Amino acid sequence: MRMVSTSAADRPPAPPAADTPDDASSSEATVSPELAAQVAALANAKVKVPGAVRLNYKIEGKTKGFGFSGKGHLLWQPGAGGDPAAYEAQLVVGNFLLGNRSQTSSGRLTAHGLAPTRFADKARSEQAAHFVRDKGQIVFSANTPQAALLPGAQDRLSVVLQISSLLAGNPGRFTAGRTLPIQTAGAKDAEVWQFVVVGEETLGLPGGEVRALKLVRKPRHAYDQQIELWFAEKLGFLPARIKLSQVGGNLVDQSWESSETP
């Protein structure tokens, strides 16, 4: 999300996670054999990719103690460019004071869901991650160390859509307490994120009341974000709400307002 006269530390969270100074050093984080096996198993799970849609969100947030509101959207386009095996996705968060921040993901659709090839995060400038699958690497435009590409690797936008696809593929499998470990790349790093299934909740949103399954990724270190996601069957298991919060009270809370056919 683009800022006006604010430092990086003051910026509210970006969709679905903003880089922090500590993130760039995590690309070479060690993955235990047990965790690697869990990642590989989930990468082979049954999926059902959602259909094309644009979800519009109402945004409420806080930065430096000041509240703000705005609009955002998630544009999901399987079969992008007329290629049934391609996809494109875009998530935009913005308001009149702070401007816009966008994340985009593009790649291929496989039997096991999304296989991103490029991820970009843009505010004042754009940074990107490239999935070099023939070399088994994730390479970053920020010149941070490359990361080994694990099975089922996603980026910070495609991971949300991959979880949607996993839930749609086998909704009954993801009961409360279940952990979903997925390697997730930002524009500077790649780590295994572990999403924990909390359970179902009924949400009263601008677009109406929906029943949704909540998942949480807890902060990994002192300056990291907490990511809360609510996936609604009514929306094809796409996110009805996305809430990102940081230490100090900065947050962005995106609530589903309407849906459109792109």
**Residue 146 neighbours by CB distance under 10 Å:** 18
Q: What is the pLDDT of residues 160-204, one digit of tens each?
A: 999 999 999 998 889 999 999 999 999 999 999 999 999 999 999
Cis peptide before 16 (omega within 30 of 0): yes
CA distances (Å), origin 149, targets 44, 102, 125, 131: 15, 24, 25, 8
Q: What is the pLDDT of residues 35-81, one digit of tens each?
A: 999 999 999 999 999 999 999 999 999 888 888 899 999 999 999 99
The alpha carbon of residue 82 and the mean position of all alpha carbons in its chain are separated, in whole angstroms, by 25
For residue 137, which of 37, 129, 18 has the smallest C-alpha distance? Answer: 129
For the entire predicted model, the pTM comes to 0.89
CA atoms within 13 A on the CB side of 40: 7
| pLDDT for the residue 29 | 54
| pLDDT for the residue 178 | 95
